[in-house]
Amino acid sequence: MLAAQINPSATATLPNESVALRSHDIPLIIDLDGTLLRADMLYEKALALVRADLLNLLKIVYWALGGRAYLKRRMAQAATLDIESLPVNPELVAFAEAEASGGRPVHMSTATDNVTAAQIARRFPFITSVIASDGVTNLKGRAKADELARRYPLGFDYAGDSRADLPVWHAARQAIVVEASAGVERAAALAANVVGVFRRPSYGRLILKSMRPHQWAKNALILVPAILAGRFLDPFALWQLAVSFLALSLIASATYILNDIWDVADDRRHWSKRNRPLASGRLPIVYGLAAVPVGLAAGFLLGALAGAKVVLMLAAYTGLTLGYSFYLKRVVLLDALTLAGLFTLRLAVGTAAVAAVASPWLFVFSMFLFASLALAKRHTEIARAIERGTTRISGRGYMAADLPLVLAAGLAAGTSALLILVFYIIDDAFKQTFYGDVAWLWGFPLALAIILGRIWVACQRGELQDDPVVFALTDRLALAAGTALSVCFVLAWAGVSA
């Protein structure tokens, strides 16, 4: 039975009678984009060209004037893809391999240019031949249906994914629908004899995952200026902070998605990022592109409710994030300072939201602290690359030889953060009327030293995962130190005699 040959975790329904479908005389034709691969070669090629040089966008527009087939041919000639890292549909691949092992001819037919299609086909030994666009004819829809009917007059079975495949399914003997929308599934059922359906995952859930809502916890930093200014119990201030928090979170999520799109090729080669929705292909790039402007627009509209200064800080955050995504992340050490700047801008958003007068020591402390944490993350990535035998970090400017430099810079930044904290307590904290008893603040440097020490020890031992903050929240000693820090703050605020 066909169902037995499919990965049991796949959400696929296949025919009960498979004798005709497995006939050696009837070839199985498989589409490429969105079917065999969870990727669209047109978007992949365009992204590769734009990443190489933004001016290539003008070339793409010019080539498009020559028609879709001409555009695909020129892009195929100009752009290079890492074929082996392109995400596949594992359930469909398993099905096609089983059919081929039974003696059935399996062919690829795609609107992708045949230069690119032939390169991809070599990755799949079960593919017998490739039928694709040739620079003149865009082999899609009716053109594909006519070509396949001409080549296989005895009939063929076709696996596709989009509304453009409806004419092909209509001409086919049997149809297999692969991760299509519900509307396409219904249309295919009316147009053809559908014998198999591979259902796609929920794109809404995947978009939400790409937004990384767990990262919104970082935006709680906007509360710090209000707390230090003694306004965290003010109802109006709380409203301003809530609106600003949601606005910043939506904007951050939009930039996360844009960053994942821009880095999709690098992420596919990363040991953990390759499982992200966009890198894995489970969420098509076009859906990510649509989500970005929606998130940015919603974030800035909400920010406007909190005031012009908040909008200005949100714009600064967005601009710096885009600069980081497109260029700064590839500059050694400057990438860590940029990340520290993004964390510090969160404090600036909170300051603007409640019109607080924040201590300059707070912003300087934030820069050094988060630079240290960012460098801890880079240290882990470099160490993992060395373990895998590579000398460069994909998508970053770091090399294996930079490991001692990153270690030294990270420890120096952490030590500087501790010194700034001490200077704040000596110079500024005693001037604040917010604290009842400043003496409790001397517990801060000790607690922070324990937390940073645990993070960097974990780095050296290879125990740190991607996010040092997550480690600090799960490591017992670091968590205990963080709890002690919080207790010291409450005691200092309450004025309990030390």
**DSSP run (H or E) holding 11:** none
Residue 498: per-residue pLDDT: 57
Q: Identify whether residues 276 and 424 lie together within a single domain.
A: yes
What single letter denotes the amino acid at residue 359?
S
Residue 321, judged by CB atoms within 10 A of its CB (0-12, 13-18, 19+), counts as: buried
Q: Identify whether residues 301 and 376 lie together within a single domain.
A: yes
Q: Identify whether residues 159 and 223 lie together within a single domain.
A: no
Q: Identify whether residues 127 and 240 lie together within a single domain.
A: no
Q: Identify whether residues 209 and 196 lie together within a single domain.
A: no
Separation CA 305–CA 5 (nearest Å)? 56
Separation CA 320–CA 248 (nearest Å)? 13
157 — alpha (psi -120 to 50), left (phi > 0) or beta?
A: beta
Of the three residues 155, 172, 200, the one that is the final residue of a domain is: 200
Q: Identify whether residues 148 and 250 lie together within a single domain.
A: no
CB atoms within 10 A of CB 63: 18
Q: Identify whether residues 268 and 331 lie together within a single domain.
A: yes
Q: How many CA atoms lie within 13 A of 385 on its CB side?
A: 22
User: Smallest Cα–Cα separation from 427: which of 355, 360, 356?
Assistant: 360
Contact 309, 352 (CB under 8 A): yes
Burial 336-363 (b: 16+ CB within 10 A, else e): bbbbbbbbbbbbbbbbbbbebebbebbb
Separation CA 248–CA 222 (nearest Å)? 9
Interhelix angle 68-78/41-52, nearest 10 degrees: 50
CATH of the domain at 370: 1.10.357.140
Q: Identify whether residues 127 and 227 lie together within a single domain.
A: no
Per-residue CA distances from 115 to 10, 72, 119, 134, 178 (Å): 31, 9, 7, 8, 24
Structure tokens at 473: 């929240």
CB atoms within 10 A of CB 319: 11
User: Smallest Cα–Cα separation from 349: which of 239, 226, 253?
Assistant: 226
Positive or negative torsion for Cα 338, 344, 346, 349: negative
Sequential pLDDT tens for the chain (498 residues): 233 233 333 334 444 334 344 456 799 999 999 999 999 999 999 999 999 999 999 999 999 999 999 999 999 999 999 999 999 999 999 999 999 999 999 999 999 999 999 999 999 999 999 999 999 999 999 999 999 999 999 999 999 999 999 999 999 999 999 999 999 999 999 999 999 999 999 999 999 999 999 889 899 999 999 988 878 888 999 999 999 999 999 999 999 999 999 999 999 988 788 999 999 999 999 999 999 999 999 999 999 999 999 999 999 999 999 999 999 999 999 999 999 999 999 999 999 999 988 788 999 999 999 999 999 999 998 988 888 888 787 778 899 899 999 999 999 999 999 999 999 888 887 776 677 788 899 999 999 999 999 999 999 888 887 688 888 888 899 999 999 999 998 898 887 775
Q: Identify whether residues 463 and 393 lie together within a single domain.
A: yes
Of the three residues 156, 184, 200, the one that is the final residue of a domain is: 200
CATH of the domain at 194: 3.40.50.1000
Contact 103, 21 (CB under 8 A): no
Of the three residues 169, 200, 231, the one that is the final residue of a domain is: 200
User: Smallest Cα–Cα separation from 161: which of 140, 136, 146, 143?
Assistant: 140
Local structure of residue 408 (DSSP, 8 states): H
Separation CA 289–CA 284 (nearest Å)? 9
Task: Report helix, strand or coil for 129.
Answer: strand
Structure tokens at 195: 């014998």
Q: Give the 3-state secondary structure percentages of the chain, helix then strand then coil, rounded to 5.
A: 65, 10, 25
Q: Identify whether residues 228 and 265 lie together within a single domain.
A: yes
Domain span including residue 110 = 2-200
Q: Identify whether residues 196 and 242 lie together within a single domain.
A: no
What single letter denotes the amino acid at residue 55?
L
Q: Identify whether residues 190 and 250 lie together within a single domain.
A: no
Residue 23: per-residue pLDDT: 54
Contact 15, 5 (CB under 8 A): no
Structure tokens at 193: 């004899």
Per the structure, the count of domains in the chain is: 2
